[in-house]
Amino acid sequence: MMDIKKFKSVAVPVETHALLKGLCGIKYRAPAGMITKLVNEYVAYLAAEKKLSIEQFKKSLINGEASHDRT
Protein backbone atom coordinates (compact mmCIF):
# COMPACT_ATOMS: atom_id res chain seq x y z
CA MET A 1 0.00 0.00 0.00
CA MET A 2 1.24 3.49 -0.85
CA ASP A 3 2.11 6.01 1.84
CA ILE A 4 -0.79 8.51 1.64
CA LYS A 5 1.42 11.18 3.19
CA LYS A 6 3.77 10.98 0.18
CA PHE A 7 1.46 10.18 -2.75
CA LYS A 8 -1.98 11.36 -3.94
CA SER A 9 -4.25 10.21 -6.77
CA VAL A 10 -5.45 12.62 -9.43
CA ALA A 11 -8.28 12.03 -11.90
CA VAL A 12 -7.75 13.32 -15.43
CA PRO A 13 -9.87 13.02 -18.56
CA VAL A 14 -9.20 9.90 -20.67
CA GLU A 15 -7.75 11.97 -23.53
CA THR A 16 -5.34 13.71 -21.14
CA HIS A 17 -4.26 10.31 -19.79
CA ALA A 18 -3.64 9.05 -23.32
CA LEU A 19 -1.55 12.14 -24.10
CA LEU A 20 0.38 11.70 -20.85
CA LYS A 21 1.14 8.07 -21.69
CA GLY A 22 2.28 9.13 -25.17
CA LEU A 23 4.61 11.78 -23.74
CA CYS A 24 5.96 9.25 -21.25
CA GLY A 25 6.71 6.84 -24.07
CA ILE A 26 8.72 9.49 -25.93
CA LYS A 27 10.75 10.54 -22.87
CA TYR A 28 10.94 7.13 -21.14
CA ARG A 29 9.35 8.46 -17.95
CA ALA A 30 6.69 7.06 -15.66
CA PRO A 31 3.47 9.12 -15.53
CA ALA A 32 4.25 10.31 -11.98
CA GLY A 33 7.69 11.50 -13.09
CA MET A 34 6.25 13.34 -16.10
CA ILE A 35 3.57 15.07 -13.98
CA THR A 36 6.25 16.11 -11.47
CA LYS A 37 8.41 17.49 -14.29
CA LEU A 38 5.52 19.46 -15.81
CA VAL A 39 4.44 20.92 -12.46
CA ASN A 40 8.01 21.89 -11.52
CA GLU A 41 8.54 23.59 -14.89
CA TYR A 42 5.29 25.56 -14.53
CA VAL A 43 6.13 26.57 -10.96
CA ALA A 44 9.51 27.86 -12.17
CA TYR A 45 7.80 29.76 -15.00
CA LEU A 46 5.27 31.43 -12.67
CA ALA A 47 7.94 32.21 -10.05
CA ALA A 48 10.01 34.01 -12.69
CA GLU A 49 6.92 35.85 -13.93
CA LYS A 50 6.19 37.04 -10.38
CA LYS A 51 9.88 37.83 -9.76
CA LEU A 52 10.12 35.39 -6.84
CA SER A 53 12.58 32.60 -6.17
CA ILE A 54 11.23 29.15 -6.91
CA GLU A 55 11.41 28.27 -3.21
CA GLN A 56 9.50 31.42 -2.20
CA PHE A 57 6.80 30.71 -4.75
CA LYS A 58 6.54 27.03 -3.75
CA LYS A 59 6.08 28.04 -0.10
CA SER A 60 3.37 30.53 -1.05
CA LEU A 61 1.54 27.87 -3.06
CA ILE A 62 1.79 25.22 -0.35
CA ASN A 63 0.66 27.68 2.34
CA GLY A 64 -2.23 28.92 0.21
CA GLU A 65 -0.73 32.42 0.06
CA ALA A 66 -0.22 32.61 -3.72
CA SER A 67 -2.22 35.24 -5.52
CA HIS A 68 -5.24 33.84 -7.31
CA ASP A 69 -5.07 36.37 -10.14
CA ARG A 70 -5.02 34.99 -13.67
CA THR A 71 -1.66 36.48 -14.72
Helix spans in 7-71 (H): 14-27, 31-49, 54-62
Instruction: Using the predicted structure, report yes or no on whether residue 66 has a pLDDT greater than 90.
Output: no
Query: How far is Cα 45 from Cα 51, in angstroms, rounded to an integer?
Result: 10
One-letter identity of residue 39: V
- Going from N- to C-terminal start, the domains of the chain cover 31-71
Tell me the pTM. Answer: 0.79
Query: How far is Cα 32 from Cα 9, in angstroms, rounded to an integer?
Result: 10
Q: Where does the pLDDT of residue 52 fall: very low under 50, low under 70, confident under 90, or very high at 90 and above?
A: very high
Q: Is 4 exposed, middle or buried (0-12, 13-18, 19+ CB in 10 A)?
A: exposed
